[in-house]
A and B are shown apart, each in its own frame.
Chain A
């Protein structure tokens, strides 16, 4: 089995010969793609207003809400694409979308 260095692929250092057949790869390659760079607006969480209901964590389509001990939530800006769903579903309006 042809194991590959995903970092090289992301940098464009590959040929069709070095890619695994049909992209059947073992490594979690999507971690290397920092989709946070796609973002136009970023969510800001006001921890004073947050009720720790975790709806943002449930709804985030990119698993970019990180859940810490005690129900505290943070945004993983490496992967958050800025879709705004978390701000939309937040009951106490504790999440605001602001321009990058």
Chain B
């Protein structure tokens, strides 16, 4: 006989939801430097610590470079460690991001996705995290505030899995999610600690049994250590599935590496990251009602790239649209587009595909923009081609 469970509901901004999850995760060390649109996360956390609701060392660093360096050192002592940043702050962290993954530090970081200078802009795009794409971090993307909360909890579970011990970023769209109040269901503190109990870090700094950390490796050994990173991050999908399964049992909410929507018989499929996935789903449903076979797939995990799962979804598509909220200037396309094209090619999938660069610096991507975009995809199937491979959607020509 099943019992009715009392579910606690709250109304929180994305930033607040992340901070609440981090508090419930009972972190030991938070080191951060404030930057919009992430600031509220660390503001809330500093209040939790000051009010005695969270027993953690809260360290305001003098820069993001120092913040992530503190987190790296703290994680190696076995402390559960959190930081958050955005945009220029993530750029300033860059060299230590590589060190954190290759030194196997299970840090969790929230990235409130924001555009990069110049011109100065504080609004949403994914240029910040795309610069950190190849650093050996696991990158998760939230579509809404509930997911920002859930994925933050799952991030600790994934990062600290003894099979991995890798840093994880939880990406939430600047302002669109960080500053939007949405209703969400939260777990109890007990449930959270049952889900992510403190487990000792196997390589923690121990003065009685000293270890070497961050050593130098010359041409005779360096490549083998990089190969270890190549191998270990590929274990993430399995660890993610385990983390998602146990999360589903306590929360009733189920996550996959990808989140397909109306894709079963879809001729047109759009691939996207972040909050835009929900905009696209809403419009796709309307187009379905008009008989258009259209579907949307969001990637919950962007690195490691869920190639197999995506290929399975795209294998019968006639036309694929890729949404890039960042660009690789001078490259063959945006970062997601090049990943999707590679997936199609490697898996022998022949389909029309085009890149839609959109929403840079917080440019709104409205329902009407999604409708126009869908029409472009429908037209491409009708005429058998796109009139170009890369569209800057919504830019004033």
Residues of A within 8 A of B (CB): 1, 9, 12, 14-16, 19, 21-26, 29
Contacts and interface: CB of A to CB of B under 8 A. Distances in A.
Interface stretch (B121-129, B202-210, B353-361): B202-210
Nearest to A19: B224
B225 A22 contact: yes
Interface residues of B, number: 22
Given A16-B225, A19-B221, A25 B231 contact: no
A25 B212 contact: yes
B215 A23 contact: yes
Nearest to A21: B104
Interface string B209-243: 11111010100110111011001100000000000
A24 B221 contact: no
A29 B221 contact: no
A24 B213 CA distance: 5
Q: Which 9 A-B pairs have the closest CB atoms?
A: A16-B224, A16-B227, A23-B215, A22-B104, A24-B203, A24-B211, A22-B103, A25-B212, A19-B224
Interface of B: 102-104, 165, 202-203, 209-213, 215, 217, 220-221, 223-225, 227-228, 231-232
Contact of A16 (B102, B203, B228): B228
Q: Secondary structure of the A side of the interface?
A: loop
Nearest to A12: B220
A15 B225 CA distance: 10
Q: Please report whether the interface of chain B is mostly helix, strand, loop or mixed according to DSSP.
A: loop
B221 A9 contact: yes
A21 B203 contact: yes
Nearest to B226: A16
A15 B217 CA distance: 14
Contacts of B231: 16
A21 B162 CA distance: 12
Contact of A21 (B217, B220, B223, B228): B228
Contacts of A1: 202-203
Contacts of B224: 14-16, 19
A1 B215 CA distance: 17
A26 to B, nearest CB: 6
Contacts of A16: 223-225, 227-228, 231
Contacts of B221: 9, 14, 19, 23
14 contacts: A1-B202, A12-B220, A14-B224, A16-B223, A16-B224, A16-B228, A16-B231, A19-B228, A21-B165, A22-B225, A24-B103, A24-B213, A25-B215, A26-B210
Contacts of A12: 220
B166 to A, nearest CB: 11
Contacts of A22: 102-104, 203, 213, 225, 228
Given A21-B232, A22-B228, 20 more contacts: A1-B203, A9-B221, A14-B221, A15-B224, A16-B223, A16-B224, A16-B225, A16-B227, A16-B228, A16-B231, A19-B221, A19-B228, A22-B102, A22-B103, A23-B212, A23-B215, A24-B103, A24-B211, A25-B211, A26-B209
A43 B33 CA distance: 50
B197 to A, nearest CB: 22
A26 B210 CA distance: 6
A26 B228 CA distance: 18
A12 B220 CA distance: 7
A19 B225 contact: yes
B147 to A, nearest CB: 31
